[in-house]
Structure 1
Amino acid sequence: MGQRAPEKKIEKSVLTNKINEYLAKRPMNAEDLWKLGRVSAEGLSADGSVLVYGVSNYSFEENKSEKNLFTIPLKGGDAKPFTTDLGSETVIEITSSDDVIYLFKGQLWKKNLKGGAAVQLTDVKEGLSDVKISPYKKHILFSKQVLINKNHSVDKYADLSKSNIYIYDDLDYRHWDTFNDGRFNHPFVATYDNGKIGEAVDLLEGQPFYSPTAPFGGAEDFAWSPDSKSVLYVCKKKFGKEYATSTNTDIYQYDLATKQTKNLTEGMSGYDTNPTFSPDGKRFSWLSMKTDGYEADKNDIIIQDLASGVKLNLTSHWDETVNAFYWSKDGKKIYFVAPTRGTVQLFEVDVPANLNVRSLPKIQQLSQGQFDISGIVGETKEGLVVTSTKMTQATEVYLFNFKNKNLTQITSVNDAKYAGWKETKVEGRFTKASDGADLFSWVIYPPDFDPTKKYPTLLFCQGGPQSATTQGYSYRWNFQLMASQGYIVILPNRRGMPGWGTKWNQDISKDWGGQAIQDYLSAIDDFKKESYVDNDRIGAIGASYGGYSVFMLAGVHEGRFKTFISHCGLFNMESWYGTTEELFFANYDLGGPYWDKANAKTYQDFNPIKHIDKWNTPILIFQGGKDYRVPVGQGQEAFQVAQLKGIKSRFVYMPDENHWVLSGHNAQVWQREFFGWLNETL
């Protein structure tokens, strides 16, 4: 017995240390969220052994973020700073000699991975954006704004330089958070010689079209052919009402020698995006949606043989939608990421040697687990370098191993911070929807969850309406943060979300207030049966379509909820149709305008303003002043109704924010008002 005593002492010491470590942990708070480093994977060294990645860190004092680049060996080792200058750097490419070409303050810089000082390459007066350097390094492709239409008074009337008036004769007069001042992003091609840029050619000279596409397009809308003889660019060559009512982007090829432009996707009427060449340059691939006006249509991978013109839809037989894809180095496979059953996973599909095939190759799911694969960075001999998130972990970079199918973490930017916070358990849950379908939900529990106690519960209503609720990580609607404040959060994968088959995804269109709302009620009714749910303290929260869902639930919930929070929600479908900018979305998802009698159900039964006679529950309303997708009047109308009906309500107006909350200080106000309201009403 005397010989075993030291062993018992060690076990007790280990246990004591673990207890002390646990007791030292605390719940996550709102400021912690903005102290996390935001990781971006930027590229791999020529031999695939070193990762270059970016980390953006937010300063509360300056209310802005700064991004720097770092390097880390893939097979283990310490991360090292690569850039330290004030500002933000973004990698353009990593050359075969391991020169990292990056964009910094609008100019190209070069620094080698093996060491040495950074060298500024360009000195362009207006700066560069969306840069792609040709494979042979003799030309450069970039974008800049060009004045086409004089919509702004200072451009139309040069002698009235202190005026500030906009004049329009057509639609598309504002988009997302900006009024159209008549300037359009255009692609430019110029000669390039180690930083020296020659005279640039505007590929859309004189045309009122955007490329990259507005408002979110970037360098992914551009591509060089491997032989450097042509470029591809994405553009929706429509203007005014046609632009506002269509999603028909096409991919155009510009030949540098002939100066001729060809539409490679002629006759394909939906979104065509992300042009990419195969490694040998003989094939061209892209993401394509079939239906004009349907922004959430099934996204397929299309391949075209450039010599013969033969096209093949590589994923037409697959009942899901593709987020992004990546060619294997040997050109024999395409890897892609896609939502599936409440997560986003990694898939692969073989590329046929002959595109005239009778049967399509089988699609294989590679990864599986309670995480999202959010992007593919590159390929090594061992596997794929990817980015990944969980509801309880922000983006980090991993290696997905081909042999064992496991993820090995490469970066650990935020591990130390997470180690100091108490864990929040995440579980999946199935219930039966009102129509008998299986309905999946994610459930996040508070730290130190005790099933013998009762907890307030939040029903999260997702936006989109075709956005997925998976294992993504948000810096505003952060479920780890909500759970850390003592709330259980349930997130149903209701009708309209991808990952459960295309029909499930499509079923919400023209049925906004129908089965999807019933799915929310089914999920919360089932969850209320758990003994640890305090049925007297249940709230519903959400933004965009989720905000619409909150407004709808406020009129049909029959006492289920004690409080509501709606951010940029659609409240009056008629006035929303009359003021939103992307009319293709309203036309497809709602059925069309309110004056068309065929859409009566949308504007009557599925219109939150038509159910205000049953409003009787406290409600908090957030609204951005620069939100042109869901304009400010929606929040104002809802708040005015609540106030005049004598319902406890609050209106949080953010004049400088759009559909999101981008300022760190504004985000802190948002969080304080959010949790303050819950403390008051739940």
Structure 2
Amino acid sequence: MNKLKYSIILAILIIASSCQNSVVEKGFTNKGKTFSGSRLTPEILWTLGRIGNVSVSPDKETVLYSVSYTNIEENKSYSDVYTISVKDGVKTQITDTKSNESAVTWRPDGKKINFLSAEKGSVQLWEMDVDGSNRKQVTNIENGITNYQYSPDLKHLAFTCEIKIDENIHDLYPDLPLANARIEDDIMYRHWDTWEDDDYSHVFVAPTDKLIESGTDIMEGERFDSPLKPFGGVEQITWSSDSKSLAYCCEKLVGKAYAFSTNADIYLYNVQDQTTQNLTKGMMGYDLNPTFSPDGKYLAWESMERDGYESDKNRLFILDLASGEKKDLSTGFDQNVANLVWSEKSDKIWFISNYHGTNEIYSINTNDGNISKITEGVHNYYAAIPAQDKIVATKGSMMFPTEIFVVDPKTGNDQEISFENKEMLAQLEMGKVESRWITTTDNKKMQTWVIYPPNFDPNKKYPTLLYCQGGPQSTVSQFWSLRWNFQLMAANDYIIVAPNRRGLPGFGQEWNEQISGDYGGQNMKDYFTAIDTLAKEPYVDETKLGAIGASYGGFSVYWIAGHHQKRFKALVSHCGIFNFEQMYSTTEEMFFVNWDLKGNYWDKDNKAAQKSFDNSPHKFVKNWDTPILVIHGEKDFRIPYTQGMGAFNTAIMRGIPARFLYFPEECHWVLSPQNGILWHREFFRWLDAYLK
């Protein structure tokens, strides 16, 4: 009897312990946190909530989204799921776990919510009721899945996972199990921040009548990836409206051909007869992000014309599925299109386009090609989803991180509904953001953002930073960044000058393309024009100017170091190109350098290429005289970290004050919270030492 009592008591204690553990395992949030000061800091920047995975229910009545918060002490983020009523804005939190639900979306019938989770080990597809209850595992695929997409009739699931195809050294030499090496016979063997392995991302299709443990590999044996690596996601896989076919994106090239090309195509797989058709054969640039019209008659996608040019105009193409006729609906529209979404009646496509430094919502009539601009303002819209007679959209700016809005498509007026960071942002003083148009050396108008410190006093003089944009073809828009955050710089009493210099989209294709083959040319004159113009203002201390930038912006800083004629007193270059010849020989996506530099460095008869290589920053180090902070990540394979080492070592050898901030675990970006905070502390420690 005593043993039985002991067993019962022990069982009760175990159950109680389990209950306590379930409480401990709840999610993490910073929402509503109070701050001791009114200025933005790196710590506060990482404290704010980040909204993602926004979608609208099939009945168009409810918004689904996730919010992630960073636990700085643990150096990681936690994500939970929410819904909002489109009609009355009522918000409901439906998960509160440490499972970090990702890729959250509505099941096509609206009765369930799907998500990816690793709560049982590998990442698998799960579903739950719309209130967050009854979590159920849907897939049990060996090694997990990476993307998923239900067919509209719910009879099939498309998913992606990594499949081993190539041999590795242990396959070749099984008697050397402890050997650690790579054997390469071709480029490209690494990409952005990852070494290529013997696995490839393939698309699978499986029936949904039971737990999914396998599927049909629709790319069986192919040494290609879908979605495209490294940034492609589920937007590159979509079902036809009748659930009979699946469209997916793939660049079916290998090695050297793959490294030099952007010829990605859209393929259509027939589920019944298991045949595949190339829908964009003969279209030589990027063809990505297909989406079928609700009536099943058309396929729309984003298309670039020229092979090897990653910054070509992004056009809106449409395919008549019955006739096979393809048509560029964006002919005459001198802007890029992105994030295409069909209207319910299939008579209109909503999209996002950058114009003069802001991202706006547009619509295009699919019958006559008429384009309408829906919104106007100092902001960035990132997505637009029709919801009854409204548009649900995500929007941010240099003043606040992304939130969810409801937009009136007739007036363009919007109303926020998420308010995730309202209480925290209300505690902070933000600096004024101003748009200026400056006349360049070739008598053109250049839009430039100027960001002022909070409580700006025009009677004072402020140290001022010239921000050099990366890309090189990436607009200085109204972005909110965890690293290049202009409000954070302004909160440290700096004025920021951020010009949309030559080579940036949103100002016409001619303006965008001018930079190719002209590194160190007109765009550098644009930089000097911007800072020289602002330096004339009485509140700018022209004796305390700095230049900062990353990637192409980092190259810009290195180039400026040899040409600025004592304008600047401090420089910061993050992941910048220092030596063009070394860059050309060691980068991974060869199409980038080959197009922008107009060829290789050993072809002495190629005058355009030789002009580019003659402008390599390392050729002007004899003119360097300014203190410089160099930052680089070891896992940056686009611009290898030896570029940063070369710049730093050269500065030291020349007797110039320099510092090297090196991140062994970071890539082209700084992604972990504590490294991000360290980045900012060193950034301001360096600038303050020479500009304050």
Interval containing the TM-score (normalised by the shorter chain): over 0.9
Q: Structure 1 residue 78: deviation in Å?
A: 4.0
Counterparts in 2 of 1:531-546, with a 5 A limit?
531-546=538-553
Gaps of 5+ in 2: 1-34
- Equivalence for 2:57: 45
Task: Output the CA distance in 2 between the equivalents of 1:303 and 1:41.
Answer: 26
**Correspondence for 2:499:** 492
Rounded Cα–Cα distance in structure 2 between residues aligned with 1:241 and 1:273: 21
When normalised by structure 1's length, the TM-score is 0.93
SS in 2 for 1:556: coil
Mean alpha-carbon deviation: is it higher for 93-102 or for 322-331?
93-102
Whether the aligned pair in 2 keeps the contact of 1:374 and 1:388 (CA below 8 Å) is yes
User: How many angstroms does 1:153 deviate by?
Assistant: 2.2
8 Å contact from structure 2 (residues 547, 557) kept in 1: yes
Please report how far the alpha carbon of residue 363 of structure 1 lies from its aligned counterpart in structure 2 after TM superposition. 1.3
CA contact under 8 A between 1:278 and 1:284: conserved in structure 2? yes
Structure 2 residue aligned with 1:278, among 293, 297, 301?
293
Deviation at residue 46 of structure 1 after TM alignment: 3.1
Equivalence for 2:685: 676
Which one of 428, 431, 442 corresponds to residue 435 of structure 2? 428
Out of 461, 475, 480, the position equivalent to 2:468 is: 461
Separation (CA, whole Å) in 2 of partners of 1:203 and 1:159: 34
Q: How does 1:180-199 map to 2 (within 5 A)?
A: 180-193=196-209, 195-197=210-212, 199=214
Q: Which residue of 2 aligns with 1:638?
A: 647
Structure 2 counterpart SS, 1:144: strand
Counterpart of 1:514 in structure 2 is 521
Return the letter of the residue paired with 1:99.
Answer: K
Structure 1 unaligned spans of 5+: 1-22, 353-359
2:208 aligned counterpart, secondary structure: strand
> CA offsets, 1:467-522, max 9 Å, x none?
01110111111101000010001100001111100100111111111001110000
Distance in 2 between residues matched to 1:207 and 1:122, nearest whole Å: 24
Find 2:378's aligned residue among 366, 370, 373: 370
Alpha-carbon shift at residue 41 of structure 1 (Å): 4.0
Q: 1:526, 1:235 → 2: CA distance?
A: 47
Q: Could you tell me whether the CA contact under 8 Å between 1:71 and 1:82 is conserved in 2?
A: yes
Question: By how many angstroms is 1:615 displaced?
Answer: 0.3
DSSP 3-state at the match of 2:428: coil
Look up the equivalent residue of 2:544 and give its one-letter code.
R
- Report the CA distance between 1:97 and its aligned residue: 4.1
Q: Give 1:503-652 correspondences, 5 Å limit.
A: 503-597=510-604, 598=606, 599-652=608-661
Tell me if the contact between 2:57 and 2:106 (Cα under 8 Å) persists in the aligned partners: no
Report whether the alignment pairs 1:125 with 2:142: yes
Deviates most, 522-531 or 105-114: 105-114
Tell me how far apart the structure 1 counterparts of residues 165 and 462 of structure 2 sit (CA, whole Å). 58
- Deviation of the 1:24 alpha carbon: 8.4
Partner residue of 1:361 out of 364, 369, 380? 369
Counterpart in the other structure of 1:82: 94
**Equivalence for 1:71:** 83
Q: Secondary structure at the match of 2:554?
A: helix
C-alpha distance in 1 between matches for 2:285 and 2:379: 30
2:350 is equivalent to residue 343 of structure 1: no
2:284 aligned partner: 269
| Residue identity (%) | 45
- Separation in structure 2 between the aligned mates of residue 541 and residue 476 of structure 1, nearest angstrom: 12
Q: Distance in 1 between matches of 2:186 and 2:586?
A: 14
Q: Give the alignment partner of residue 449 of structure 2, picking from 426, 442, 445.
A: 442
Distance 2:359 2:609 in 1: 36
Cα offset, 1:115, TM superposition: 6.3
Judged with a 3 Å threshold, the aligned counterparts in structure 2 of structure 1 residues 323 and 606 are, in CA distance, closer, same or farther, namely: farther
Within 2, Cα distance between the matches of 1:577 and 1:46? 48
Q: By how many angstroms is 1:76 displaced?
A: 3.2
CA distance in 2, matches of 1:605, 1:175: 27
The DSSP-based 3-state class of the residue aligned with 1:196 is coil
Aligned pairs (5 A) from 1:31-430: 31-89=43-101, 90-105=103-118, 106-114=123-131, 116-150=133-167, 152-193=168-209, 195-197=210-212, 199-352=214-367, 361-376=369-384, 378-430=385-437
C-alpha distance 626-155 of structure 1, shift in aligned 2 (>3 A): farther
Secondary structure of 1:642's match? helix
- What is the alpha-carbon root mean square deviation over aligned residues? 1.5
Q: Is the 8 A contact 1:298 1:502 kept in 2?
A: yes
- Asked if the contact 2:598/2:612 (under 8 Å) is kept, the reply is no
Residue identity matched to 2:43: E
Asked whether the equivalents of residues 597 and 609 of structure 2 are also in contact (C-alpha less than 8 Å), the reply is: no
Cα 1:416–1:654 shift into 2, 3 Å: same
Q: Check whether the contact 1:513–1:605 (CA below 8 A) recurs between aligned residues.
A: no
The residue type equivalent to 2:112 in the other structure is D
SS at 2:592's partner residue?
helix
Code of the aligned partner of 1:207: E
Q: Is the 8 A contact 1:271 1:295 kept in 2?
A: yes
Secondary structure in 1 matching 2:536 = coil
Deviates more, 1:597-606 or 1:167-176: 597-606
Q: Distance in 2 between matches of 1:393 and 1:672?
A: 21
Give the count of matched residue pairs. 650
Partner of residue 667, structure 1: 676
Is the Cα–Cα contact under 8 Å of residues 441 and 490 in structure 1 kept in the other structure? yes
**CA–CA distance in structure 1, aligned partners of residues 449 and 497 of structure 2:** 6
